[in-house]
Structure 1
């Protein structure tokens, strides 16, 4: 797909909504197809006397890129058939209104995810019989395509791993502490470290979710807190070096993020 302000896909073969092909929901794309608006970077610029140009106060992610705003996605749909068929299609689609849905198709490296809303239904009649209905689905979507979950097993010591996608992503860790250890940590090659320290030996499975919406650390399901100097750090796209310590087994799971 080309870089442009708006992508228009009028002849998509197999779009899926929440993993279900539209045709199984008794819906089809109209000639307007799917429209995907651009995602704008969130920037902050400030004029400053005595300085040429403007001061860039933009917050950036660990890769140095400005954080992106959401993008608007619209699907122009129709349903045809008898009134019972059209009502069934309406009911199934309307059940998703207001919820967070996923949209995917063809060979894209992931799925868009966002909250869905519906326009008013535009019913078509032939005399006393309803023969079709039109509707526009709008999704306030996150800017990135979210890939399928990938899991990497880590060994004790430095691990060279490769992260897919082209934007930083947030891993979930699963760690088995070494016998008698009181400190468990994960460290990257950029000075970030996530550490759990205890006055007694740590026993049981340690799970850590670093996603900004969660950011939690649990031992055997019990919520714990990392040390004050810890970072819930993301993984950069491409080559990474991860070093666990105080563990006998470790793995990470992540979903690649891709901006197109």
Structure 2
């Protein structure tokens, strides 16, 4: 019975680059394994005469935590096989050098994302033939694990949703205005609001990307702007109260961020 139960367990290949197990790229972790560097807070302090200690000028996120710098993840790899196999593996891995990749393994609640750097090849020869190669790759990664995208349906009025992860994340809003509405509005419980107004009734879907790297508001695919007093506010880990006005239906999608 115990053996049968074990046979039913899923086989987990890890780690994975761009969702492809290293084994399928003809690489495995060497005895050096993998190293994940510590993440450092971006802290700023200033000496001030007449004051004990130092003045903390650190910029913080909505939870009060300092923003984090990137972290390096180092993997020591090897490949064995015929010369043709090893050369094919080299070409496949080298194609990723300098690109943005995702890195994940086992049961992590998401993936790391960063730019891949490739070290020197350390080839091993026997009898005049290439039989193995070793290489170190480094991923300069965003500090948080990025979870899979989740979508939640919202209703007009007050909504309470629970957001996974342990760091603020940036949502994507999809709003369908109510018939005849000239203003649509989304607010959280911390005084932030995101508003779009029009001189005529708004028709069609409104999509709002709040991520600082790709921030935009579109109505029927056309780029528009929110009101000047709007905030592209994040969702906080845990319970969030969102109040929507001027809509017939809505949804919010997000990728949870987790710091470990």
Q: Given the two structures, how large is their TM-score scaled by the length of structure 2?
A: 0.95
Q: How does 1:188-227 map to 2 (within 5 A)?
A: 188-227=188-227
Secondary structure at the counterpart of residue 60 of structure 1: coil
Shift of 1:82: 0.4
Distance in 2 (CA, whole Å) between partners of 1:58 and 1:110 is: 28
Secondary structure at the counterpart of residue 89 of structure 1: helix
Q: 1:62 aligns to what?
A: 62
Decide whether the 8 Å contact of 2:13 with 2:23 is kept in 1.
no
Q: 2:186 aligns to what?
A: 186
Distance in 2 (CA, whole Å) between partners of 1:14 and 1:41 is: 29
Structure 2 gap segments, 5+ residues each? 1-11
Q: 2:22 aligns to what?
A: 22
Q: How does 1:79-228 map to 2 (within 5 A)?
A: 79-228=79-228
Shift of 1:32: 1.0
Q: How does 1:5-84 map to 2 (within 5 A)?
A: 14-84=14-84
Decide whether the 8 Å contact of 2:13 with 2:21 is kept in 1.
no
Distance in 1 (CA, whole Å) between partners of 2:21 and 2:97 is: 17
Distance in 1 (CA, whole Å) between partners of 2:195 and 2:130 is: 63
Structure 1 gap segments, 5+ residues each? 1-11
Distance in 2 (CA, whole Å) between partners of 1:76 and 1:245 is: 53
User: 1:160-214 CA deviation, whole Å, 9 max, x = no partner?
Assistant: 1000000000000001011111100110000000000111111111000000101
Shift of 1:13: 5.5
Secondary structure at the counterpart of residue 90 of structure 1: helix
Secondary structure at the counterpart of residue 93 of structure 1: helix
Distance in 1 (CA, whole Å) between partners of 2:221 and 2:22 is: 39
Shift of 1:78: 0.5
Q: Which portions of structure 1, spanning 4 or more consecutive aligned residues, are displaced by more than 6 angstroms?
A: none
Distance in 1 (CA, whole Å) between partners of 2:202 and 2:145 is: 37
User: 1:129-164 CA deviation, whole Å, 9 max, x = no partner?
Assistant: 000011111100000000011100001110010000
> How many residue pairs are counted as aligned between the two chains?
249
RMSD of the TM alignment (CA)?
A: 0.9
Secondary structure at the counterpart of residue 92 of structure 2: helix
Secondary structure at the counterpart of residue 158 of structure 1: strand
Shift of 1:75: 0.5
Distance in 1 (CA, whole Å) between partners of 2:34 and 2:159 is: 42
